[in-house]
Chains A and B, each alone.
Chain A
Amino acid sequence: NAGVMQNPRHLVRRRGQEARLRCSPMKGHSHVYWYRQLPEEGLKFMVYLQKENIIDESGMPKERFSAEFPKEGPSILRIQQVVRGDSAAYFCASSPMGAAKNIQYFGAGTRLSVL
């Protein structure tokens, strides 16, 4: 049973470009969470999605960031017009349900570097 798959593992973008990060949840999981790990900081929640729905985006910056989890295909975290401060590791996690008791299984992360 494959785990959570994130790609690419490393992404380099120049300032002003767009970054697209993909996350395929574990088989049977319909709940996806995105977290960001900035240098010298811990992991911070960004957004929680179910298929075709954004449930909680309270951790997402108001501008340039968006997320989706379509009926078919992976979840996408999109960052438009990237800036150096967006350089971070972005982790995706999935769980079978959204309840607090459910274990979230994490992908290996995407390391975004903005030049």
Chain B
Amino acid sequence: AQKVTQAQTEISVVEKEDVTLDCVYETRDTTYYLFWYKQPPSGELVFLIRRNSFDEQNEISGRYSWNFQKSTSSFNFTITASQVVDSAVYFCALPANAGGTSYGKLTFGQGTILTVHP
């Protein structure tokens, strides 16, 4: 069965600090996809990134970067120079494996609450 663990329940930082959110996953698939979503205080879920397992190149988008390590089953998310607007709950997610056929049913981690103080 798929499993996603976000061990950090809450993180609190001061503006301009860098912060890394951890995500560790379990899957029997040899190829798979991973996702990060953001849930700001307003409550909606916002897609951030999709990563496939056969591309280990790290990805950077502005202040956001992602470090995918297949060997340790981790897909960590770093925010550089954090801002108050980054305050949100962040979820890591992994699609299902149903009898060898992966499809979109997502298993989410428990989420990490990030609070950025001014």
Contact = CB atoms under 8 A, between A and B. Distances in A.
Contacts of A89: 43
Interface residues of A, number: 28
Contacts, number: 72
B41 to A, nearest CB: 13
* SS class, residues of chain B in contact with chain A: strand
Contacts of B45: 43, 91, 93, 106, 109
13 contacts: A33-B104, A41-B110, A42-B109, A43-B108, A48-B103, A48-B104, A56-B103, A56-B105, A98-B104, A103-B47, A104-B35, A104-B104, A106-B37
Contacts of B37: 106
Given A42-B111, A43-B91, A100 B102 contact: yes
Contacts of B108: 35, 42-44
Given A106-B45, A108-B43, A45 B110 contact: no
B116 interface: no
A56 B99 CA distance: 13
Nearest to B50: A103
Interface string A68-80: 0000000000000
Interface of B: 32-33, 35, 37, 42-47, 50, 52, 91, 93, 95-96, 98, 102-111
Interface string A49-68: 00000011000000000000
Contact of A98 (B93, B103, B107): B103
A22 interface: no
Contacts of B33: 100-101
A53 to B, nearest CB: 13
Contacts of A87: none
A102 interface: yes
Pairs of residues from A and B, 5 with the lowest C-beta to C-beta distance, nearest first: A100-B95, A100-B102, A106-B45, A108-B44, A43-B108
Contact of B105 (A45, A101, A106, A111): A45
A24 interface: no
Contacts of A25: none
